C-alpha cells in the first residue's frame, strides 16, 4: 500500500498517510482554493486503504488518525467529515480506528467542532488539549 504525503502550504494542511509506519496525520490550516480537488486524493487514498485492509484482514494494525488543524473553512469541513465517515466505516468492519482531535488550550470552539464532527460521522474521537 502506497504512502500519501502532501506538504503543508499557507492554505492547505500537511497530510501523512503511511500505513507501513502507522502514521496518519492531517495538520495545519485547511482553506485550499479548491477543497474538492485537494481532498479528492485523500478520499481516494482512504478508499484504496479500506480495500487493501479487506484483502489482508489479518495484518491490520491500529489506525490512529491525528487531526491537528488550527483552522478549516466550511468547504474543508465537508470533506473532513467525508474522511471521518470512511474511518467510521473501517471501524464498523473491525479495524481498530482511533481519531485524535488536537486543539489549542482554551479553544473551546475547536473542541466543540470536533465533538460535532464525531457525532455526525458516528465515530468516537479522543480530544487532546495542546499545551502552548
Domain containing 25 — which CATH number?
3.30.750
Overall pTM surpassing 0.95 (yes/no): no
Average pLDDT value over all residues in the chain? 94
The parent domain of residue 64 ranges over 4-130
Q: Residue 67 pLDDT more than 80? A: yes
The C-alpha atoms of residue 72 and residue 57 are separated, in whole angstroms, by: 34
pLDDT at 78: 97
The CA distances from residue 87 to 61, 81, 93, 131, in Å, are: 14, 10, 10, 27
pLDDT, position 103: 96
What's the distance, CA 108 to chain centroid? Answer: 20
65, containing H or E segment: strand 63-72
Question: Could you tell me the pLDDT band of residue 59, with boundaries at 50, 70 and 90?
Answer: low
Burial class (CB in 10 A: 0-12, 13-18, 19+), 7: exposed
How many distinct structural domains can be found in the chain?
1
Amino acid at each position: 500500500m502506497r504512502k500519501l504525503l502532501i506538504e503543508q502550504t499557507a492554505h492547505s494542511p500537511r497530510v501523512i498517510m503511511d500505513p507501513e509506519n502507522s502514521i496518519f496525520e492531517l495538520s495545519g490550516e485547511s482553506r485550499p482554493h479548491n477543497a474538492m480537488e485537494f481532498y479528492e486524493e485523500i478520499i481516494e487514498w482512504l478508499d484504496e486503504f479500506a480495500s487493501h485492509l479487506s484483502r489482508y484482514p489479518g495484518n491490520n494494525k491500529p489506525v490512529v488518525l491525528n487531526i491537528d488543524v488550527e483552522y478549516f473553512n466550511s468547504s474543508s469541513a465537508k470533506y473532513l467529515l467525508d474522511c471521518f465517515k470512511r474511518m467510521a466505516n473501517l471501524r464498523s468492519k473491525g479495524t481498530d480506528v482511533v481519531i485524535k482531535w488536537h486543539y489549542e488550550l482554551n479553544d473551546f470552539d475547536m473542541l466543540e467542532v470536533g465533538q460535532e464532527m464525531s457525532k455526525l460521522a458516528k465515530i468516537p474521537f479522543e480530544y487532546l488539549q495542546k499545551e502552548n
